A = this chain, B = another copy of it.
Amino acid sequence: MVRPLDPPERMLLGPGPSDVSPAVLQAMARPTIGHLDPAFLQLMDELRGMLRQLFGTRNELTLPMSGTGSAGMEACLVNLVEPGDRVVVGVSGVFGGRMAEVARRAGAEVEEVQTPWGRAIDPDDLRVGGHAKLLCVVHAETSTGVLQDLAPLRAVADELGALLVVDAVTSLGGLPVELDAHGVDAAYSGTQKCLSCPPGLAPLSFSVRAQEVLKARRSPVQSWYLDLSLIGKYWGAERAYHHTAPINPIYGLHEALRQVLDEGLEARFERHRRNARALRAGLEAMGLELPVPAAERLDPLTLVSIPDGVDDGRVRRALLDEWGLEIGGGLGAFKGKAWRIGLMGASSTRRHVTTCLAALADVLGRGGHPLAGDPLAAASAQY
């Protein structure tokens, strides 16, 4: 007989999931009700209103998809791509590469604009070839900790005659997204990053223009499960059954969004900025290098080089086993070469920063890596 689960106590400082507040966990544990219950329909409407505030949009078609962030990515692409469509994708990490792969599987002719991992993409590089159906970029590249400025991209998309599609998985709720101000046509996110909600849902938003492209399709959306022309009728006025909505995860997201708006978006972004500054100061005081140029760094996720001679796996295992602290390993070009430290949502606190620096100093120090200075003092100076 399998024993009841008993998850260990962790402090989640990886690239997601982040720590989830007790109120969100308790919201998920409220009794399940039906997906067509009038009380649930009201909760759906409230949730959509809150999501619009976070996304900075008035888009009617704003809702959480019933899957993780990658399902949100796939939903944006399969609803907008038809076979043979030209799609330009900026790729400087895992998630840009994933967008390209998903678009190819939807039948697109994909042009990848490659930039070295750990750097933002120069918007001018995205002005490639003639007309494109979509221009796809990652706002916050979770594999590298790089921020892509959205401001110049609408003009590039207009030159290409393209819809602008944005991955906001690691940005939503941690830094300004502002879909309408930046002329973004389709965006998706995940719940387990700066929203501090368990993974399982993918907030998504489509502009009126993107909805028109969806309506004008000549071929059916290849995915029935992710078909927004059907899902929009359940979340919209028709309330037409499509699939059974994930009731309790939606409870959790409802509470997580409430907490974000209760804190206030500006206060929340400032909290993420302040804690990221302190973490970086502490890491640099230890003599660790941050490969991403200062102007391109993400507040919710910091990339830090693993010093020569330090065993990646041993350090992360010691942090987990001895300190209950999870940080992320590197991906792709940074595999074994860098760690990813997340300060997202409920994990972006002075307590998390301090514990992380103390634990890392302890484990590295015991591993024989000399510390250049006092990381805790350097971090404290930022508060």
Q: For the complex formed, measure the closest distance between the CB of A157 and the CB atoms of chain B, giving whole angstroms.
A: 23
Which residues from B are CB-within-8-Å of A43? 5, 7
A198-212 CB contacts (< 8 Å) to partner B: 198-200
Question: Bound state CA distance, A106 and B78, in angstroms?
Answer: 12
- Residues of A participating in the B interface, judged by any CB pair closer than 8 Å: 1-2, 4-10, 12, 14, 16-17, 19-20, 23, 25-35, 37-40, 43, 46, 49-50, 66-71, 73-74, 78, 98, 101-102, 104-106, 190, 192, 198-200, 220-225, 241-249, 251-252, 254-255, 257-258, 261-262, 320, 326, 331
Total copies of this chain within the assembly: 2
Main SS at interface, chain A:
loop
On whether the beta carbons of A67 and B17 are closer than 8 Å, the reply is no
Among A2, A190, A245, A258, the one with the most B-chain Cβ atoms within 10 Å of its Cβ is A2
Which residues from B are CB-within-8-Å of A34? 10, 12, 14, 17, 326
Our pick among B12, B30, B249 for the contact of A246 (Cβ within 8 Å) is B249
On whether the beta carbons of B28 and A200 are closer than 8 Å, the reply is no
Q: Considering the complex, give the chain B residue whose CB is closest to the CB of A23.
A: B4
Which residues from B are CB-within-8-Å of A326? 33-34, 37
On whether the beta carbons of B224 and A70 are closer than 8 Å, the reply is yes
On whether the beta carbons of B33 and A255 are closer than 8 Å, the reply is no
Which residues from B are CB-within-8-Å of A255? 4-5
Which residues from B are CB-within-8-Å of A224? 70, 74, 98, 101-102, 105
Question: Bound state CA distance, A27 and B5, in angstroms?
Answer: 7
Which residues from B are CB-within-8-Å of A2? 46, 49-50, 254, 257-258, 261
Our pick among B26, B27, B32 for the contact of A20 (Cβ within 8 Å) is B32
Q: Considering the complex, give the chain B residue whose CB is closest to the CB of A192.
A: B244
Our pick among B16, B25, B222, B242 for the contact of A105 (Cβ within 8 Å) is B222
Question: Bound state CA distance, A14 and B37, in angstroms?
Answer: 11
Inter-chain pairs besides A5-B27, A104-B220, 11 sampled, C-beta below 8 Å: A1-B261, A2-B254, A8-B33, A19-B32, A20-B32, A37-B326, A198-B248, A198-B249, A199-B247, A200-B249, A222-B222
